[in-house]
Amino acid sequence: MVQREQRWRWVKAVVIGAIALTGELSVSATAAPPANDDFENRIDLGSAREVSITVSTAEATHEIGEPEHLAQPAIASLWWKWTAASNSSVEIRMGYETSQWTRIAVYEGDTLRSLKVASLDRPKIGTTYSIALDVDPDSFSDAREVSLRFRQFDDYSDTAAESHDVRIEGIPFSFTPTQRGTTIVRWRPPDDGIFLANVTPPLPVWIRKSSDPRPIGIIPGLIHEAAPRSYMFEADSSLDITFEFNWIALDPPTIEVNALNVPSNDRVDDAVDLGTAAIVSATGSNHRATTDDQEARLTDSNTPVVWWRWTAPHSGVFALDSTGTDFFHSILVVREPGTSTQEQEWQRLLRVDGIGEPFPNKQPIAFTADMGATYLLGIGGNT
């Protein structure tokens, strides 16, 4: 708890000859915590289907024996309780104006020490749930206020939970479901390329190629997030891409997919050919560059790289100089496989990180090349 100090001045005069002694006494008074600071004093929401709450977290504390909230020790928590009158899903969302680090956890149990983590996706009728809001005092705004929105949706039914299969054409596209339950959106890219999928509000979405049940990507989502979540993926026009999600709670999600204009030399196979000259120069951009499994193996990194291909005109030592590149970057040199049995593997000759301001310049960078061998030259950096 935060203590607010009140001060009283007292004076005591003791005459010792001509000397008077005075002093000052400090007395501390503790400010009261919120009414629902303890589990036993939870505010009862009854069976309300929709409640908006604005509460001050000033002076909030945690209790001995309080469980961890979302796998983190309790810091400063407030409590409510709610009894389910139906089994339809419940949304608890933070207000956008909330400027504190917060966690919301839901439990079943009658005592603090008997609490078990619960979910309000399908609440059990007649069950009383405890809702904990935990905040970090170090992230308090001046107002120290948190806004919550508690809402139960229309009654759940088996009909509402049916699976829905939807076919979408074209690019870009946007899709918002009209029925709750599991939805599979099927889409075939009109062209090969790199695409970006956004989901607002966030909820988990599994992205798959129709030929493989394993997901190529998952868009995560948390119940109290407001900002959209996104995932970048590669697809070709010969296969369907599916987006699968289960909408039960929250507002209906919107999935948007757009094509990304990646650099022409974003992939190793698309490296720009610099020929065989002893002195060459090239320019380019890494804006919206991506990475893939082959690139990650060659670079030992998930940093996007753009590539050039060069064949050594003679054996000797050559130098790379990326002066003028206006972002913090890495330089990579990879020798491509040759035709002999000893040259069947890719060989990364060097990777130099940390090039560019504000760090000291590491240019030029030297490497040894063999006449007739082909090398990949890469510039890596976050886009």
SS3 112: helix
Could you tell me how many residues make up the chain? 383
Confidence of residue 140 (pLDDT cuts 50, 70, 90): low
Q: Is the pLDDT assigned to residue 16 strictly greater than 90?
A: no
**Cα–Cα distance measured from residue 218 to residue 204, given in angstroms and rounded to the nearest whole number:** 7
**Cα–Cα distance measured from residue 129 to residue 80, given in angstroms and rounded to the nearest whole number:** 8
**Residue 289 CB-density burial (10 A; 0-12 exposed, 13-18 middle, 19+ buried):** buried
Report CA dihedral (245, 246, 251, 253) to the nearest 10 degrees.
Answer: 10
User: Cα-flanking dihedrals φ and ψ of residue 252, to 5°?
Assistant: -60, 135
pLDDT recorded at residue 158: 40
Instruction: Name the average pLDDT for the chain.
Output: 79
DSSP state of 121: S
Q: What is the pLDDT of residues 76-117, one digit of tens each?
A: 999 999 999 988 878 787 764 554 577 889 999 999 999 999
CA 365 to chain CA centroid, nearest Å:
36
Q: Which residue has the tokens 């509000």?
A: 201
Q: Which residues of 339-372 are buried (b: 16+ CB within 10 A; e: fewer)?
A: eeeeeeeeeeeebbeebbeeeeeeeeeebebeee
Residues 6+ apart with CB under 8 A from 281: none
Report CA dihedral (235, 238, 239, 243) to the nearest 10 degrees.
Answer: 50
Q: Is the pLDDT assigned to residue 12 strictly greater than 50?
A: no
Q: What is the pLDDT of residues 168-226, one digit of tens each?
A: 989 999 999 988 778 899 999 998 888 889 888 777 888 888 877 777 777 665 444 45
pLDDT recorded at residue 241: 93
Distances (CA, A) of 15 to 10, 18, 23, 25: 16, 6, 14, 20
pLDDT recorded at residue 172: 92
Structural domains of the chain sorted by starting position, each given as residue range(s) with its CATH number in brackets:
39-152 (2.60.120), 160-260 (2.60.120.1080), 268-380 (2.60.40)
Q: Which residue has the tokens 């003028």?
A: 324
- Dihedral of alpha carbons 46, 202, 257, 219, sign: negative
